[in-house]
Amino acid sequence: MSDRQTAVTKQETLAALRKPGELYVVMSAVTKLPFVKCDEETFDDEIFLYYRVEDAKDKAKELLDQRYLTAVAKLEDRQLLAFYTSLYTMGVNCLAVNHGTDTQISIQLQDLVVRKDPSGLPEGKKVIENPALHLTAIYFMQEMRRQEKPQPTGELKDLQEELLAHYSKASFIIAMQEDKQVPVLKLKNGDVYQPVFTDILEFRKFANGKKLRTVVVPAEKIPDILAGDSRGVVVNPLGVNVQLNVARKKKPVKPEGDA
């Protein structure tokens, strides 16, 4: 334990995180999710939580000085369990509590919220989650939006390659309307993209009262079901909002003449 962590113990922090009274999280204005940072020493993928709003605002300002677009949000007690659990779907494994203060301490997410491994569920009951893809998309968008005019830096190229690698291995939740049509999103420039979701939480943000059902489609099959004039897919449109161009699979041409 570092000198800064001597004033607070792990058990005290776990208890405080369960019933904090007040708790604030530094949010990314880009992804509309908690801001995620990879610790340079431990390589933990962590978010920033604070008991005092002033400390949270100081951290947000520090990140803004580094050109990260951030904000501070208050977490209500009734939100806490759902919030902590949602971090698993984002690939986050660590909570940096009061980072930059005299009482900073790092807490592993699994020590706070124990969760069954969804990959161990039987066939037919498997939970669709893509934490590695989701996490890479978060890092990619946070870095890309730091620039007024995004340039293909080495870091962005590496993140993009990693993102595409995770995408190719993923299965996604697809929204279907009652008429069996797939909803699409049109950008300001007229381009059309089909929304796909890494997990049920992201799908629910999009559904928000709409009568939609879900189907699960692996990435390799998406070209077969790409809707209308879609140029590709948009991953988690109300979250990371990553647009990926996908070539629609061409249907075979039926030869003319007698069969």
Q: Categorize the per-residue pLDDT at 253 as very low, low, confident or very high, splitting at 50, 70 and 90.
A: very low
Query: Does residue 43 sit in the same domain as residue 144?
Result: no
Instruction: Encode pLDDT of 32-66 as tens digits.
Output: 999 999 999 999 999 999 999 999 999 999 999 99
pLDDT at 163 over 50: yes
Query: Does residue 165 sit in the same domain as residue 73?
Result: no
Q: Alpha-carbon torsion 217, 220, 221, 225, what sign? A: positive
Show which of 76, 91, 112 is a domain's final residue: 112
Does 240 fall in a domain? yes
* For range 86-115, the mean pLDDT: 96
Q: pTM value?
A: 0.89
For residue 227, the model assigns a pLDDT of 80
Does 54 fall in a domain? yes
First to last CA, the chain: 78
Q: Categorize the per-residue pLDDT at 259 as very low, low, confident or very high, splitting at 50, 70 and 90.
A: very low
pLDDT at 251 over 60: no
Task: Pull the structure tokens for residue 155.
Answer: 């870091």
Does 238 fall in a domain? yes
Q: Which residue has the higher pLDDT, 195 or 153?
A: 195
For residue 68, give Cα distances in angstroms to 71, 131, 183, 236, 243: 10, 22, 32, 20, 20
Which of 35-49, 166-180, 197-211, 238-252 is least confident?
A: 238-252
Does 188 fall in a domain? yes
Query: Does residue 156 sit in the same domain as residue 232?
Result: yes
* Cα distance between residue 207 and residue 134, in whole Å: 19
Query: Does residue 201 sit in the same domain as residue 99?
Result: no
Query: Does residue 107 sit in the same domain as residue 170?
Result: no
For residue 78, give Cα distances in angstroms to 18, 74, 110, 204, 231: 10, 12, 20, 19, 40
Residue 88 structural domain: 9-112
Task: Pull the structure tokens for residue 208.
Answer: 């928000």
Q: Specify burial of residue 102 (Cβ count, 10 A radius: 0-12, 13-18, 19+).
A: exposed
For residue 202, the model assigns a pLDDT of 97
Task: Pull the structure tokens for residue 220.
Answer: 């390799």
